[in-house]
Amino acid sequence: MDTAFLNMSLETLEGWLRETDETRLETLWTAADETRRAYVGDEVHLRGLIEISNRCARNCAYCGLRADNKQIERYRMEKHEIMDCAHQAKGFGYGTVVLQAGEDFGITRAWMTDLIQTIKAETGLAVTLSLGERDDDDLTAWREAGADRYLLRFETSNKELYARIHPPAKGKTVSDRPAILRRLQALGYEAGSGVMIGIPGQTYASVAQDIDLFRALDLDMLGVGPYIAHPHTPLGEDKMPAAPANEQVPNTELMTYKVVALTRLVCPEANLPSTTALATLNLANGRELGLLRGANILMPNMTPPQYRVLYEIYPAKACIQETARDCHACMGARIRSIGRTPGTGHGGRKHRVPTGESLFLH
């Protein structure tokens, strides 16, 4: 076999997205798993997720944190609370903390700079930020303070759908997330992105384009999860049109696995999480199936319980009642149950040629 998977055309990608034959799908899962093993190995890196604020200035049509949702109580964690989580992550042996929030401008450049410097000085962990569309001066300052990575999903590569679900910030035009991702790369961040699967109005052809854009941007991290309707959002209230039935991508577990597997094949070196949204659709073994079909990362939730329940981007999120310690034990057991090992070190992107025998990529 040659690099056929790596260079899959849009037509081939769409064909796989529409594939229903179980035997054929088995070949896709096997190819993704082989490629994962050859390029990023058997280690599953753990990223301790700390949801530091649910305040948000934006009104994304799908997200429960949107500013116009008055039905949630808002919080922003204190520095000492975040530091307690970071120390706990270090104690658990994680290599990275991910600081995620709504687009909260109460999180100032100076405050975040100090937080990043303190985490780096006291723990030495890799720091990943997921704070939405911040301006260039913020991104520059935080990179200089030592932040290693930044996550910003582009959610869909279809410009019309993107604009429909992402009203611009006050006084601005519709944002260009691929441009922000290129800027993050230029600043020296490892850049991560991703999409939701099954957004009303999202077509098979556009998901094929999404995967093609992952490849074109050469992203270091790629997260994909099913879209889950939130009742207090315009998209969740069915106020936005679906695509015609034979074009609309379903927001299913199976479709998510297909996108994870195809992403691994076209971006073999990237770090790919098996996401919480996937676990929300299949609590019993969604995480494991993601790891067996291309993923190599888990993001155990470390948010303190009193805040965790309030970080409701979508309803009935998995692991909402657990503590960080529960999630730690659970993730370790899931990793071992499929014969993999918890990762050590920062677990950044590996740039390298594949090792070992692969049936699919030589």
Q: Check residue 63 for interaction with ligand SAH (CB under 6 A).
A: yes
Q: Check residue 102 for interaction with ligand SAH (CB under 6 A).
A: yes
User: CA 82 to CA 302: how far, in whole Å?
Assistant: 10
User: What does the per-residue mask of binding to ligand SAH show for 30-59, with x meaning CB under 6 A?
Assistant: ------------------------------
Between 8 and 115, name the residue whose CB sits nearer to ligand SAH: 115
Q: Check residue 196 for interaction with ligand SAH (CB under 6 A).
A: yes
Between 62 and 75, name the residue whose CB sits nearer to ligand SAH: 62
Let me know if 63 is exposed, middle or buried by CB neighbors in 10 A (0-12, 13-18, 19+): buried
Q: Check residue 228 for interaction with ligand SAH (CB under 6 A).
A: yes
Q: Quickly list DSSP for 150-179.
A: EE---B-S-HHHHHHH-PPPTT-----HHH
User: What does the per-residue mask of binding to ligand SAH show for 149-178, with x meaning CB under 6 A?
Assistant: ---xx-x-----------------------
Shortest distance in whole angstroms from residue 344 CB to ligand SAH: 26
Q: Quickly list DSSP for 190-249.
A: EEEEEEEE--TT-BHHHHHHHHHHHHHHT-SEEEEEE----TTSTTTTT-SPPPPTTTBP
Q: Quickly list DSSP for 54-105.
A: ---S---TT-TT-TT-TTS---B--HHHHHHHHHHHHHHT-SEEEEEESS-T
Among residues 129, 191, 277, 298, the one that binds ligand SAH under rule CB under 6 A: 277
User: CA 324 to CA 135: how far, in whole Å?
Assistant: 32
Q: Check residue 312 for interaction with ligand SAH (CB under 6 A).
A: no
Among positive and negative, which fits the CA dihedral 308, 310, 312, 317? positive
The pairing of strands 96-101 and 43-53 is parallel
Q: Using alpha carbons, select from 58, 248, 152 the residue that is nearest to residue 240.
A: 248
Considering only residues 234-253, where is the footprint of ligand SAH by CB under 6 A?
Answer: none
Shortest distance in whole angstroms from residue 251 CB to ligand SAH: 8
Between 228 and 266, name the residue whose CB sits nearer to ligand SAH: 228
Among residues 128, 130, 175, 203, the one that binds ligand SAH under rule CB under 6 A: 130
Q: How many residues bind ligand SAH (CB under 6 A)?
A: 18
Between 132 and 234, name the residue whose CB sits nearer to ligand SAH: 132
User: What does the per-residue mask of binding to ligand SAH show for 66-95, with x meaning CB under 6 A?
Assistant: ------------------------------
Residues that bind ligand SAH (CB under 6 A): 62-63, 100, 102-103, 130, 132, 152-153, 155, 196, 225, 227-228, 230, 277, 313-314
